[in-house]
C-alpha cells in the first residue's frame, strides 16, 4: 500500500460515503455497507462513514431550473432520509461508538479542498468519466440536462477521501473509477507541493455489482421494484422475486411446461443472485435443476427470496426497533457529534494543504 510508506505510526483510516436517497438496499449492503461493518468491528482502523448529502443534490436538474420549474428534491424528505440513513447504518451493524458517522455538509472545508483539487483536474477527465456520461445520458433521455455539480462529482469525492487522509475506501465496483481519480489527485498534489495525502486503496472483499431484479441494470433506488430495501418485509421480498425478470439473453423457460424446457443459467438474472447470497450447494442445486429441467423457475426464485430474506431479516428487525422518536433524535445527535470530530480533522488537513499551496488564512 503506497499510503503506509508515508506514516507508519498512525492507525489506518477507513472512509466511505453514501447518498441519502431513501432506504438502503441489497446492492448498497452487499457492495459496501457489509464491509463497513466488518472493518469497523476489526477494531484496527479509524472509521469514517458519512452521508453524501452534497452529492445527493446532483440529482437536481439544472435544465428544469432554467425553465423555471422545481427540481423535485423536497427539503423535508431529504432531511428525513438523512436521519433514516443513520438508522439504516446502525441497523446494518455499524456502532456509532466505534465509527464516526457524519454528514458531508457539516464540513465546509471539504468544498474548499474540492476547489484546490479542481485546479489539478482537466475538464476532459471529468467529461470522460463513465458515471458522468451515464447519468447525463439518462437525464437527457428524460428531456432534462445535467448540472455542473454532476460534472465535478468526482472532485468532491476526492476531497471527501483526501480531506481525512483516508487509506482504505470500501465501495462497490461502480465507484472504482472515482477512487482511481482520487488516487491520481493525491499523487498530483504530493508531486507539486510535497507529501500530504496518502494514496488511498479501494477495499472490496469481492468486487460486486448487484443487478436489479427487473433486469434494468444495477440495483438502485431509482428502480424500487427491482430493489430489495432494508425495510421490505419477507412477503414483499418474495413478491419482488416472484415477478423477477429472468433472462438477460435467451428466451426464458416456459412456466406451464417447464419439465420439457431446460434453461441456461448463464443467461439468467435470477441465477446470478446465487453467487451473491447463496452457498456453493445452493448454486449447484439451481444450476443442475435449471439445465436438467428438474426445478421450475418459480422454485428457483423462491429459493433466492429465502436466501435474501435470511440476510435482510435481522437488519429489518433492528431497523424497525430503531424507528422511534427517540431513535431519530439519537441519530441527529450522532450526526452532530460525528460531524464535530470529523470536521476537526478535515480543518487541520485543509489548513495544511492551503499553506502548502501558498494561500494560508492571512
Q: Residue 290, interface with ligand TYM (CB under 6 A)?
A: no
Binding segment toward ligand TYM, per CB under 6 A, in 2-10, 166-174, 288-296, 332-340:
166-174
Cα 114 from Cα 315, distance rounded (Å): 35
Segment contacting ligand TYM (CB under 6 A): 10-18, 68-76, 83-91, 188-196? 10-18
> 4 is written with which cell numbers?
503506509
Site for ligand TYM in 32-71 (CB under 6 A): 32, 52, 55
Per CB under 6 A, 171 contacts ligand TYM: yes
Residue 292 beta carbon to ligand TYM: minimum distance, rounded to whole angstroms? 31
Q: Determine the interface stretch with ligand TYM among 25-33, 243-251, 282-290, 300-308 (rule: CB under 6 A).
A: 25-33
Q: Per CB under 6 A, which region of 26-34, 72-80, 105-113, 260-268 contacts ligand TYM? A: 26-34
Q: Where in 205-234 is the site for ligand TYM (CB under 6 A)?
A: 208-210, 218-220
DSSP assignment letter at 15: E
- β-bridge partners, 164: none
Nearer to ligand TYM, 204 or 347 (CB): 204
Query: Around Cβ 37, how many Cβ atoms within 10 Å?
Result: 20
Q: What is the C-alpha to C-alpha distance for residues 160 and 200, in angstroms, rounded to an integer?
A: 12
Residue 165: C-alpha distances to residues 14, 26, 55, 321, 349 (Å): 9, 29, 20, 35, 8
Q: Determine, following the binding rule CB under 6 A, whether residue 110 of this chain makes contact with ligand TYM.
A: no
If you write DSSP's letter for every residue of 99-111 in order, what string do you get? EEEEEGGG-THHH
Grid cell digits, residue 338 = 460525528
Residue with smaller CB distance to ligand TYM, 135 or 352: 135
DSSP bridge partners of 15: 48
355-358: list long-range contacts, CB under 8 Å, 24+ apart.
Answer: 356/193, 356/194, 356/196, 357/116, 357/193
> Do 162 and 117 meet the contact criterion of CB atoms below 8 Å apart?
yes
Q: Which residues pair with 294 in a beta bridge?
A: none
28 binds ligand TYM (CB under 6 A): yes
Cell of 300: 428457483
| Least separation in angstroms between CB 174 and ligand TYM | 5
DSSP labels, 72-95? ---HHHHHHHHHHHHHHHHHHT--
Nearer to ligand TYM, 48 or 285 (CB): 48
Q: Check binding of 136 to ligand TYM (CB under 6 A).
A: no
The number of residues that bind ligand TYM (CB under 6 A) is 25
Q: Which residue is nearest to ligand TYM (CB)?
A: 31
> Interacting stretch for ligand TYM, rule CB under 6 A, among 14-22, 83-91, 322-330, 347-355?
14-22
Q: Which of 23, 96, 172, 339 contacts ligand TYM by CB under 6 A?
A: 172
**Minimum distance, C-beta of residue 361 to ligand TYM, in the bound complex (Å):** 25
The Cα 251–Cα 267 span in angstroms is 9
What stretch of H or E contains 356?
A: helix 325-357
User: Looking at beta carbons only, is 206 or 259 nearer to ligand TYM?
Assistant: 206
What is the distance of C-alpha 57 from the center of its chain?
15
Q: Which region among 170-178, 190-198, 266-274, 341-349 touches ligand TYM (by CB under 6 A)?
A: 170-178
What is the 3-state composition of the chain as percent helix, strand, coil, each rounded to the nearest 5? Answer: 60, 10, 35
Please say whether the beta carbons of 198 and 191 come within 8 A: no
Does residue 16 interact with ligand TYM by CB under 6 A? yes
Instruction: Rule CB under 6 A: say whether 18 interacts with ligand TYM.
Output: yes
CB of residue 276 to ligand TYM, shortest distance in Å: 9
* Shortest Cβ 172–ligand TYM spacing (Å): 2
Contact residues for ligand TYM, defined by CB under 6 A: 15-19, 27-28, 31-32, 52, 55, 157, 160-161, 169, 171-172, 174-175, 208-210, 218-220
Amino acid at each position: 500500500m503506497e499510503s503506509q510508506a508515508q506514516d507508519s505510526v498512525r492507525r489506518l483510516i477507513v472512509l466511505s460515503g453514501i447518498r441519502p436517497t431513501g432506504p438502503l438496499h441489497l446492492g448498497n449492503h452487499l457492495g459496501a455497507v457489509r464491509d463497513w461493518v466488518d472493518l469497523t468491528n476489526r477494531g484496527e482502523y479509524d472509521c469514517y462513514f458519512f452521508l453524501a448529502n452534497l452529492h445527493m443534490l446532483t440529482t437536481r436538474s439544472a435544465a428544469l431550473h432554467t425553465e423555471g420549474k422545481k427540481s423535485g428534491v423536497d427539503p423535508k424528505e431529504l432531511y428525513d432520509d438523512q436521519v433514516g440513513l443513520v438508522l439504516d447504518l446502525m441497523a446494518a451493524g455499524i456502532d456509532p461508538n466505534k465509527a464516526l458517522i457524519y454528514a458531508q455538509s457539516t464540513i465546509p472545508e471539504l468544498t474548499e479542498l474540492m476547489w484546490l483539487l479542481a485546479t489539478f483536474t482537466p475538464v476532459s477527465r471529468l467529461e470522460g468519466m463513465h458515471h458522468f456520461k451515464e447519468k447525463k445520458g439518462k437525464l437527457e433521455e428524460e428531456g432534462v440536462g445535467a448540472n455542473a455539480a454532476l460534472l465535478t462529482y468526482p472532485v468532491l469525492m476526492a476531497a471527501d477521501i483526501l480531506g481525512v487522509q483516508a487509506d482504505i475506501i470500501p465501495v462497490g465496483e461502480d465507484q472504482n473509477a472515482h477512487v482511481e481519480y482520487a488516487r491520481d489527485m493525491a499523487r498530483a498534489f504530493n508531486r507539486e507541493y510535497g507529501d500530504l495525502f496518502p494514496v488511498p486503496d479501494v477495499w472490496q472483499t469481492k468486487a460486486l455489482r448487484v443487478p436489479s431484479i427487473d433486469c434494468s441494470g444495477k440495483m438502485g433506488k431509482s428502480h424500487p421494484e427491482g430493489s430489495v430495501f432494508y425495510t421490505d418485509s419477507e412477503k414483499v421480498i418474495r413478491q419482488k422475486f416472484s415477478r423477477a425478470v429472468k433472462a438477460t439473453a435467451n428466451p426464458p423457460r416456459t412456466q406451464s411446461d417447464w419439465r420439457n424446457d431446460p434453461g441456461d443459467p448463464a443467461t439468467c438474472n435470477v441465477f446470478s443472485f446465487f453467487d451473491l447470497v447463496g452457498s456453493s450447494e445452493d448454486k449447484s442445486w439451481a444450476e443442475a435443476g435449471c439445465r436438467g429441467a428438474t426445478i421450475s423457475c418459480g422454485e428457483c426464485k423462491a429459493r433466492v427470496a429465502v436466501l435474501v430474506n435470511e440476510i435482510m431479516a435481522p437488519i429489518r428487525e433492528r431497523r424497525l426497533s430503531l424507528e422511534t422518536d427517540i431513535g431519530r433524535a439519537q441519530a441527529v445527535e450522532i450526526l452532530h457529534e460525528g460531524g464535530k470530530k470529523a470536521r476537526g480533522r478535515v480543518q487541520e488537513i485543509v489548513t495544511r494543504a492551503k499553506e502548502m499551496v501558498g494561500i494560508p488564512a492571512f
